[in-house]
């Protein structure tokens, strides 16, 4: 969410790359093969197993025909949402095709096995495409967004969670409080700063009172999660952080890709390629295709409050001490929008300004 430059520094990129190494469990090829055999997938040789390395924050392995994701934390379901969306949409929509799912039953892990879809990641070749070709692909991504928004749900929260809440405001406040507890416990910022952010958030939580409809939302729609062959989208990947939420929540990742795609490849070899780039030519199509979302007069304020909550989430995640300081400074100085002028100069305010051009 920050637009300052520490996240562009080599120091920060090295920090994030190191954090990936520390946070992601690793498995030998033999262990992956054993998991596959336990779930009924035989005749796969060890030499054909490789680790996926595109900025994944989960243990992900590839074979010529399969994608295998492995979670070691029994306290937290990470992959269930992928099965949910496939079971609903099946082969009618280009989403992940789930072949098997296990949660510490047949194996000692949560395991998701998917068919490896054809095509290349948009992340790898988007700059070799013309703007017209990029827009053809983006339109198909928005078609999937629309299809997902037709999946109506009766509560709010993470699809993977066992419990959900009655309103979106309750969910966001509950999530915010959990992260505040972590920040205070680990002393990740000053008490004065956290008090300011906390007051602003709860003073404005009522902006979500009119969000009555909950739908299936993919919250991580960046180019590393889009597979394509030529101008055809073959699969939308990674529903791990999907939400039961208002439809407008999908804008978080879509606007992020448009304004600053480099944030999705931090700590990877692709960062320099995306650094300083944007895809603002996607914005008119986004506004047209999601006109119902953009017609909400409170949309910018909602995005701002959700953005503040997300900033606090990242601070609680403690990926980088220096970046935490920068994030808190940006939240205090730019995002606590006490009036309309400050709101329009906030992170999302500056993005929304392009809608008027």
| DSSP code string of 226-259 | EEEETTEEEEE---TT-EEE-GGGGHHHHHHHHH
- pLDDT in the model for residue 141: 98
The reported pLDDT for the residue numbered 24 is: 86
Contact 1, 327 (CB under 8 A): yes
Domains in the chain, start-ordered, CATH in brackets? 26-71+77-115 (3.30.200.20), 120-356 (3.90.1200.10)
pLDDT on residue 21: 83
Determine the pLDDT at residue 56: 54
User: What is the model's pLDDT at position 2?
Assistant: 45
pLDDT in tens, 2-20: 445 788 899 999 998 888 8
Question: HSE on the CB side for 107, CA within 13 Å?
Answer: 25
pLDDT computed for residue 54 by the predictor: 59
* Rounded-to-integer distance, Cα 58 and Cα 11, Å: 23
Check the CA dihedral 84-87-88-89 and report its sign: positive
Query: Is residue 184 a contact partner of residue 198, using CB atoms and an 8 Å limit?
Result: no
Which residues of the chain are modeled with pLDDT < 70? Answer: 1-4, 54-57, 356-357
Tens-place pLDDT, residues 254-293: 999 999 999 999 988 899 999 999 999 999 999 999 999 9
- Whether 71 and 87 have beta carbons less than 8 Å apart is answered as no
């Amino acid at each position: 969410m920050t637009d300052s430059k520490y996240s562009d520094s080599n120091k920060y990129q090295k920090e994030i790359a190191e954090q990936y190494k520390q946070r992601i469990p690793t498995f030998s090829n033999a262990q992956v093969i054993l998991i596959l055999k336990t779930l009924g997938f035989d005749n796969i040789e060890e030499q054909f197993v490789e680790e996926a390395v595109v900025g994944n924050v989960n243990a992900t392995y590839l074979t010529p025909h399969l994608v295998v994701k492995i979670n070691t934390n029994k306290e937290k379901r990470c992959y269930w949402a992928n099965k949910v969306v496939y079971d609903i949409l099946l082969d009618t929509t280009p989403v992940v095709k789930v072949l098997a799912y296990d949660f510490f039953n047949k194996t000692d892990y949560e395991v998701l096995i998917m068919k490896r879809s054809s095509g290349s990641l948009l992340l790898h070749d988007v700059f070799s495409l013309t703007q017209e070709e990029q827009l053809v692909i983006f339109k198909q991504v928005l078609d999937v967004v629309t299809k997902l928004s037709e999946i109506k749900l009766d509560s709010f929260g993470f699809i993977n969670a066992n419990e959900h809440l009655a309103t979106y405001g309750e969910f966001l406040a509950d999530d915010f409080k959990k992260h505040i507890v972590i920040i205070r416990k680990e002393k990740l910022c000053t008490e004065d700063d956290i008090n300011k952010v906390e007051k602003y958030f709860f003073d404005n939580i009522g902006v979500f009172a009119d969000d009555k409809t909950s739908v299936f939302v993919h919250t991580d729609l960046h180019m590393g999660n889009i597979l394509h062959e030529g101008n055809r989208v073959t699969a939308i990947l990674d529903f791990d952080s999907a939400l039961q939420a208002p439809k407008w929540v999908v804008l978080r990742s879509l606007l992020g890709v448009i304004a600053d795609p480099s944030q999705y490849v931090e700590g990877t070899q692709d960062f320099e390629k995306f650094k300083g780039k944007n895809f603002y030519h996607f914005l008119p199509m986004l506004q047209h295709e999601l006109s119902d979302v953009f017609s909400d007069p409170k949309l910018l304020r909602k995005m701002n409050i959700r953005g503040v909550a997300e900033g606090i989430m990242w601070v609680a995640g403690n990926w980088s001490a220096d970046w935490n300081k920068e994030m808190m400074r940006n939240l205090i100085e730019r995002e606590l929008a006490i009036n309309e002028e400050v709101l329009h100069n906030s992170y999302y305010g500056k993005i929304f300004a392009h809608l008027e051009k």
